[in-house]
Chains A and B, each alone.
Chain A
Amino acid sequence: MVWEENHPKDQPAMKDNPYYQNQWGMSIDLNTCTGCNACVVACTSENNVQVVGKEEVSNGRHMYWIRNDRYYVTEGDEGAEDPEMLMQPVMCQHCENAPCESVCPVAATLHSPDGTNQMIYNRCIGTRYCANNCPYKVRRFNFFDWTKTLPTEVQMAQNPEVTVRTRGVMEKCSWCVQRIRQSQQQADNEDRDLRPNEVETACQQACPTDAITFGDLNNPESDVVEEKQNPRRYELMAYLNTKPRLSYLGRVRNTNPRIEEALSSEQDADAVAAADA
């Protein structure tokens, strides 16, 4: 297909790169995710994500890189009275065929040789075409300079290893690329390969149920490789052919068939009664 010819991933510049040896992927298990939001705060803390305040949130300009989508689930014609709930953490899917990469006029968002979608803040000029194109709506734009007026004490809480973004640049989850690079450099200096599961993203480290698994897909000993073999696996909006590196393991409920039967027959009885009335 057209977009596969001369794909950057096949270029020698990518393949000769030391980072090419690692291919990062992530899996989120929706069975164990309880929606506690620890990952959201951990990401904010690690990546110097700023707070925008009441008004700007209502304008849709919140800055959090990861969010927990909450869906209510009802079957058939059931009303809104007794839904089930499903939580799904969503952050940048690091699509292999990313719709955001092809539309940036200045190539500020690219695919790194290790398979992540990278955001280069200094090159971004703020057209926001990438956010427009992203089907998952995970790209956040700095509409204002949130850091200009940060009190000194709050500046002390920022992580020095992560760039602080100014007004007019796009930002998004980078799979804690600072941690990836740090570990890669460390391993390089020590003349060794990265150990399996050595790199942990902030969300993965904070998750108390280990719902988030991140790692090197090229290393067969990584946990993420095993997670991706789970038959429950699916990708978000995969029909758009974005080929995300982030996959989810669908939630399975362990329902009591007797209750289901009893309730559905009760519903049928109600429906019959209503029809009769």
Chain B
Amino acid sequence: MPQIFPKRANTLPILSLVGSLLGGVALIFLVWYYFSPEFTTVGYQPDQPVPYSHQLHAGKLGMDCQYCHTNVENSKHANVPSTQTCMNCHGQIKTNSAKLQKVRQSWANDVPIQWTKVHHLPDYANFSHASHVNKGVGCETCHGRIDKMGEEGVYQAEPLSMGWCLECHREPELYLRPNDEVTTMGYTQPANFVERNLDRVRAEGIQPPTNCSACHY
């Protein structure tokens, strides 16, 4: 019988096997990497109606987080401040700045400014700011260095996925800080912080829940 395939076709099966193996592994790796929350959500920096710079206000001017985000200790939302909070200062400071046009309009017309949500948790996950802030989880731990985020807007610094949350929930002693340092940006943990946190966890009975219905209900 005449040979249909040339001799070099003998390499084809091995090549395709190896290729599909490598390809499969590559595909799995690519999916694992590019579809992980670390890739898809970290760095999300949407446009905001007003070019508000945290770097200026919280960084350079040193305003505390809780000056504007007032309900973070009492409520599940860390509320975005009302226009009135902005006008507390900007009623007198930079009253003609073009960047503040929308704020003044909102104040004058009694229409809220439509901020775009950056840190978006799905509806089926219930998160309470109050529980975390009262236990010593710093703003920076989840939101990153807000004081370095300028006029381009806040970007999401952490994936905020369930796995990421569980890292801390399973080992809170690695992430907690004293309550009066919660709003400090660029906080460095002291040398024996794990030990101190372990003491605190034991003393205060801090037990971050890891069962499903703690957040999903």
Q: Which A residues have a C-beta under 8 Å from some C-beta of B?
A: 13-14, 16-19, 110, 112-113, 116, 118, 120-123, 161, 163-164, 174, 177-178, 181, 185, 188-189, 191
Contact = CB atoms under 8 A, between A and B. Distances in A.
B111 interface: no
B209 A110 contact: no
A55 B207 CA distance: 48
Interface stretch (B37-45, B99-107, B126-134, B137-145): B126-134
Contacts of A181: 126, 213-214, 217
B123 interface: yes
Interface in B203-217: 204-205, 207, 209-214, 216-217
Interface in B80-136: 122-126, 128, 130-131, 134
Contacts of B128: 185
Contacts, number: 63
A163 B121 CA distance: 13
A18 B213 contact: no
A248 B213 CA distance: 26
Given A163-B217, A177-B217, A19 B209 contact: yes
Contact of B205 (A18, A121, A163, A178): A18
Contact of B210 (A13, A118, A177, A178): A13
B37 to A, nearest CB: 15
B212 A118 contact: yes
Given A122-B122, A181-B126, A189 B214 contact: no
Interface string B184-211: 0000000000000000000011010111
Nearest to A177: B217
A110 B213 CA distance: 9
Given A13-B210, A189-B130, A178 B217 contact: yes
Contact of B131 (A120, A174, A189): A189
B173 to A, nearest CB: 14
A102 to B, nearest CB: 16
Contacts of B214: 19, 181
Contacts of B130: 185, 189
Contacts of B209: 17-19, 113
Contacts of A163: 123-124, 217
A91 B11 CA distance: 67
Interface of B: 122-126, 128, 130-131, 134, 204-205, 207, 209-214, 216-217
B216 A122 contact: yes
A138 to B, nearest CB: 17
Given A163-B123, A177-B217, A188 B131 contact: yes
A273 to B, nearest CB: 64
A134 B130 CA distance: 37
A161 B131 CA distance: 16
B131 A185 contact: yes
A118 B134 contact: no
Contacts of A121: 124, 216
Contact of A17 (B125, B126, B131, B210): B210
A275 B205 CA distance: 77
Contacts of A178: 126, 217
17 contacts: A17-B207, A19-B214, A112-B212, A116-B213, A118-B211, A118-B213, A118-B217, A120-B216, A121-B216, A122-B124, A161-B126, A164-B123, A174-B217, A178-B126, A181-B217, A188-B134, A189-B130
B13 to A, nearest CB: 38
